[in-house]
Chain A
Amino acid sequence: MRRLDTAGLNRRSVLGLAAAGGAAAVLPGPARAAASRVASNARIVILGAGAGGAAIANRLAARLEGASITIVDGRKDHWYQPGFTLIAAGLKPAAYSVSATDLWLPEGITWLPEYAASIDPVAQRVTTVSGHALDYDYLILATGLVLDWAAIEGFDLAQVGQNGLGAVYAGPEHAAATWRAMDDFTRKGGTALFGRPPTEMKCAGAPLKYTFITDDYARRRGTRADSNLIYAAHNDTLFSVPIVNEKVKLLYRDRGVDTRWNHVLKAVDPAARQAVFDTPEGETSLDYDFINVIPPQRAPQVVRDAGLSWGDRWTDQGWIEVDPATLRHLRYPNVFGVGDINGVPKGKTAASVKWQVPVVEDHLVADIQGREGTQRYNGYTSCPLITRIGRAMLVEFDYDNNLTPSFPGIIAPLEELWVSWLMKEIALKPTYNAMLRGKA
């Protein structure tokens, strides 16, 4: 991978073919892909080098010969976000989730370490914050989503870790700071508040898991009897998949989690340790000793300004208008989406990315070859739902709310198991890393 200094960029430069797919040559990599390398001089721009961007960059670099692939992302650190939960559970240090972005990018592509500032899908041009213009034949959006902290009045990221304020989603350091606050809470007892935003969100199981983990610590430390754990659901369910919802309700009843319905977090007062919720009956406030704040989630402004979002759905969130099966933009067929940015009813997990990447690769390469792609994304979404330290439930489903277990007949879904915990603890990060390299 070549790192680009913006000053010397020749956007038309076709990069060294010799370097292309270098990684694939060294490893016993996918012979399948190597065997069917497609010659092309297409200019492909990928926005975002997170889970989806890095994975599709590796797949395309191995698959295409002669294409000019540029990945645009201003973040030097790559974040393994599923690890945030383990960091906030005191099981891993903040560094567990942090690596260098360029570690995951293949030879033969160009990384432009800047953020995109505007996208013009008609002129087929992306402009970066420094004013650099990139023309493309194909655009892949993998920008993930933004956490809208400003939507929670009184919340301040700088205060996370103090006064019982937690924010697992904010990043590795904030997850570690949240652990300090949760650690402190579970030693003393009191009232803890959990919940989720009313928007679509990544890993909708994460707020539920964190409640279970806090409950577990309080039990281990003998403070559970002095603790009240409140889960404020944004509507009248805990999870969008009905069968999972029922199961989590049962478990919450079993663990004594006090569930409140139709509570949308509006404001926090960190000094007074008070949270304000919008409910159908009007505003309600709850006092807390510990709170995990998860804010509304939306598409980045640059994507929303580009006119790529749905016009009639999620209008306050701006997810892009793609075909749910092909992940191809419905109005701009040379634009694809991978990951959290996609305007599809499920799929905001890293596990979904793993299933989406081969689909986008298939349709993009097919288009280069002048044919139609055949692969379909079925909405596969997965989230190992930790129910205590040492146990988890594998929860996997598709667009139609079917359960889609990876190991049918072997590992039961919706059952609290040690092996499912082992998967999250041992196998998830390596699988994620293999996916980033385009190998899983």
Chain B
Amino acid sequence: MEDLTVETLIAVSEEIFGRLTFWLLVLLALAITGLFLWTLWRDGGVSSRRFLLAQLWFPPGAIAMVGFMLWMTSSRLTDIGGPIDWIALLGLGIWGGVGAVMWAYALGGLARRRPPA
């Protein structure tokens, strides 16, 4: 690629998802992060019990993300070829896992008005 700028990345991402969907996704990600931060602020820190429960969502989140990517791109786990492939796979898994944990924690925080004692 000639010049890989943020502008180019945004333009390419808009093309991948469609402009509307892309910005909706960005908004959704921001909203979840905001919600997550808001629950942290409201509870005055991490509610360890809820966080523990939320962490259970890591593996399914990671697996779903990797599975989705493989399915979307007609590829299989056996196509993993070099170190960068493992890193990409790991990155995708972590992304999916962390995303799921944040969702679970933030949504759990919405459902529960006050942090457990």
Contact = CB atoms under 8 A, between A and B. Distances in A.
Interface of A: 27-30, 91, 354-355, 358, 380, 388-391, 406, 410-412, 415-419, 421-422, 425-427, 429-431, 433-434, 437, 439-440
Given A406-B1, A426-B16, A391 B11 contact: no
Contacts of B88: 418-419, 422
A421 B79 CA distance: 9
Contacts of A434: 8, 11-12, 14-15
Nearest to A388: B79
Contacts of B81: 391, 415-418
Given A390-B79, A391-B79, A439-B7, A358 B15 contact: no
Nearest to A436: B15
A411 B13 contact: no
Given A30-B7, A412-B84, A421-B79, 7 more contacts: A390-B74, A390-B78, A418-B85, A425-B73, A426-B73, A434-B15, A439-B7
Given A355-B2, A418-B88, A430 B15 contact: yes
Contacts of A390: 73-76, 78-79
A168 to B, nearest CB: 18
Interface in B74-117: 74-76, 78-82, 84-85, 88-89
20 contacts: A27-B11, A28-B10, A354-B1, A355-B2, A390-B75, A391-B75, A410-B84, A418-B75, A418-B81, A418-B89, A421-B73, A421-B79, A422-B69, A425-B72, A425-B73, A430-B13, A430-B15, A433-B15, A434-B8, A439-B11
Nearest to B13: A430
Contact of B84 (A27, A29, A417): A417
For B8, B73, B76, the residue with the greatest tally of chain A CB atoms inside 10 Å of its CB is B73
A431 B15 contact: yes
A431 B75 contact: no
For A30, A425, A439, the residue with the greatest tally of chain B CB atoms inside 10 Å of its CB is A439
B75 A411 contact: no
Contact of A421 (B11, B15, B16, B75): B75
Interface residues of B, number: 27
A430 B16 contact: yes
A389 B12 contact: no
Contacts of B79: 388, 390-391, 418, 421
Contacts of B15: 429-431, 433-434
B11 A417 contact: no
Contacts of B10: 28
B21 to A, nearest CB: 12
A412 B81 CA distance: 11
A426 B89 CA distance: 15
Contacts of A437: 11
B73 A430 contact: no
Contacts of A430: 12-16
Contacts of A427: 12, 16
A147 B13 CA distance: 33
Listed from nearest, the 9 A-B pairs whose CB atoms lie closest are A430-B15, A390-B79, A390-B75, A434-B11, A439-B11, A418-B85, A433-B15, A425-B73, A430-B16
Given A417-B82, A419-B88, A389 B74 contact: yes
Contacts of A417: 81-82, 84-85
A430 B7 CA distance: 13
B80 A354 contact: no
A410 B1 CA distance: 14
Nearest to B86: A418
A421 to B, nearest CB: 6
A427 B11 CA distance: 11
A380 B72 CA distance: 30
A415 B82 contact: yes
Nearest to A32: B7
Interface string B48-84: 0000000000000000000001001111101111101
B84 A440 contact: no
Contacts of A415: 81-82
